[in-house]
Amino acid sequence: MKDTLRYRLCQTNPALGALHANLEDHLERAQAAARDGVDLLVLPELSLTGYFLKDQVPEVALDLDAPELERLAGTTRDGLALVAGFVERAPDGRCYNAVGWFEGGRLAHVHRKVQLVHYGMFDEGRDFAAGDRYETVRSRGAACGLLVCEDAWHTDGALLYMLDGAEVLVVPSASPARGVLESDEGGLASVAAWDRLLATHAMTTTSFVLYANRVGWEDGIGFSGNTAAYGPDGERLARIDGVEPGCLDGELRARDLRTQRTMTPLLRDAKPWLLRRELDRRIRAGLDDDAVTARDEEE
């Protein structure tokens, strides 16, 4: 990780289905970030399209060589890294809820959301195929892992990134506002839950966490904002309190990461071989029929 990584997290309200209007907004934000010396600019999940797309998904889906993505990549030629959400159309026709990492004038990496949501108000599997891997981005600024919203609610992604040497977990999100806390502080229960979750990921992986959540309304659902950054000790570094559009600027320092990982050497003491052994044992015992079938098909 470079000595100091300057980040900007954008809490935006993308117009639903308005790909080109949202693209112009992205281009302006990227150009401003580059002028301001920002190293990493992060926008929310599906920031180019809006979230509740439903039947609009095929209309706004982009091939990875689409001119819209090339224009975004062009804003990163002079040192900026940009994270933005879009609908990817794969060569086989499937569509993915994707996040692109743009750096060095190109689309350097694509993460396809692994954990699609199928509960409550969500039915993402209706429109999207699921991703199947977590690959660390080796950026010029830091080694980073991408977790798209629901990905962060499952421990496997953060753990895999930790084991692969990630220093920063980047979490673009489109999380709705839900519930009210029954306490003196009040506030949204969903915001409090995200705060606990992200702080836990930061502390247990001894990594920085950058969370960019959207705001606005779609289909009668409001999004909860409260974009935030966390240090590798689990402490919240900064947050946009509220549900208005805005930007959160800050710096991540490599010495803080080194200090925390020296004081709490969780990566040093991790035992991934034990996890693999226990998973293999359960598969062999026939406790997971789906896993057995998948293994047999591979063999």
Which tens digit of pLDDT belongs to each residue from 224-245?
999 999 999 999 999 999 999 9
288: exposed, middle or buried (C-beta count within 10 Å: 0-12, 13-18, 19+)? middle
**Contact call for residues 11 and 240 (beta carbons, < 8 A):** yes
One-character DSSP codes across 247-279: EEEEEEEHHHHHHHHHHS-HHHH--HHHHHHHH
pLDDT at position 239 is 98
CATH T-level assignment (fold) for domain 4-264: Nitrilase/N-carbamoyl-D-aminoacid amidohydrolase (3.60.110)
pLDDT in the model for residue 121: 81
Residue 285, Cβ neighbours under 10 Å: how many? 9
The model's pTM = 0.93
Report the alpha-carbon distance of residue 7 to residue 42 in Å, rounded.
8
Q: Which residues of the chain have pLDDT under 70?
A: 181-186, 287-299
Residues 6+ apart with CB under 8 A from 244: 11, 215, 225
What is the pLDDT, as a whole number, of residue 299? 56
Residue 185 confidence (pLDDT): 62
Residue for token pair 């308005």: 18
Q: What residues act catalytically?
A: 45, 113, 149
Q: What is the pLDDT of residue 48?
A: 98
What rounded mean pLDDT belongs to the chain? 94
How many Å apart are CA 58 and CA 236, to the nearest integer? 38
Question: Measured at the alpha carbon of residue 74, what is the angle toward residues 68 and 77, in degrees to the nearest 5?
Answer: 160
Q: What is the rounded CA–CA span in Å between residue 182 and residue 204?
A: 28
Tokens (6 digits) for 89: 């159309």
Give dist(CA 238, CA 42) in Å, integer.
15
> What per-residue confidence (pLDDT) applies to 296?
57
The domain ranges of the chain are: 4-264, 270-299
CB count in 10 Å sphere of residue 219 = 10
117: which 2 tokens? Answer: 């949501």
C-alpha span between 146 and 21 (Å, rounded): 25
